[in-house]
Amino acid sequence: MTEASAAQIQPTRPSDQEQREGLNAGPAPAPQPLYALHMKVRDYECDLQGIVNNANYLHYTEHTRHEFLLAHGISFADLHQRGIDAVVARINMQFKTPLHSGDEFLSCLDVRKEGVKYIFDQKIYRMPDHTLANRSEITTVCLINGRLGTTPELDALAALSATKA
């Protein structure tokens, strides 16, 4: 389903069966991620259909990762000066519910380490009902002086996330 067709679907009252099974039972509980950043959709991020253009979700998730690192004292500029470049290797995004101009949302992340990869599990929730708008898995790697490697700083953040679980 495209974002365009998702935006045209009108919410319906849950059926009796859905109510019995607990489906569509109201707002989801607040997420408990390792890190969350409150943001708001700006007019220019929306397309002609009145919903956030898909490319902007990349910006939201990237901005959240950068703010997360800064909140833990890690700067991309400092890493780069030391010959360490954290780069995106893969992105998998699922669009669930479109966001509209003026919507406030919570951009959340958790991180885990698999070998030399740092995998950011990111979710964007529309506020105030915590409706899932986007789910992303962003795989990053570190190039240290041009060679694949790991860094103690990101290892510590992945360990922090593992202890949260």
pTM metric for this prediction: 0.81
47 given a catalytic annotation: yes
Domains and CATH numbers, the chain: 32-164 (3.10.129.10)
Nearest to 137 by CA among 74, 93, 83: 93
What is the model's pLDDT at position 14? Answer: 42
The pLDDT tens digits along the chain (165 residues) read 334 433 333 333 344 444 444 444 446 666 799 999 999 999 999 999 999 999 999 999 999 999 999 999 999 899 999 999 999 999 999 999 999 999 999 999 999 999 999 999 999 999 999 999 999 999 999 999 999 999 999 999 999 988 876
| SS3 track for the chain | CCHHHHHHCCCCCCCHHHHHHCCCCCCCCCCCCCEEEEEECCHHHECCCCEECHHHHHHHHHHHHHHHHHHCCCCHHHHHHCCEEEEEEEEEEEECCCCECCCEEEEEEEEEEECCEEEEEEEEEECCCCEEEEEEEEEEEEEECCEEECCHHHHHHHHHHHHHC
Task: Pick the catalytic residue from 16, 43, 47, 103.
Answer: 47
Strand partners, 28: none
- Spatial separation of the C-alpha atoms in residues 49 and 42, rounded to whole Å: 14
What is the model's pLDDT at position 30? Answer: 67
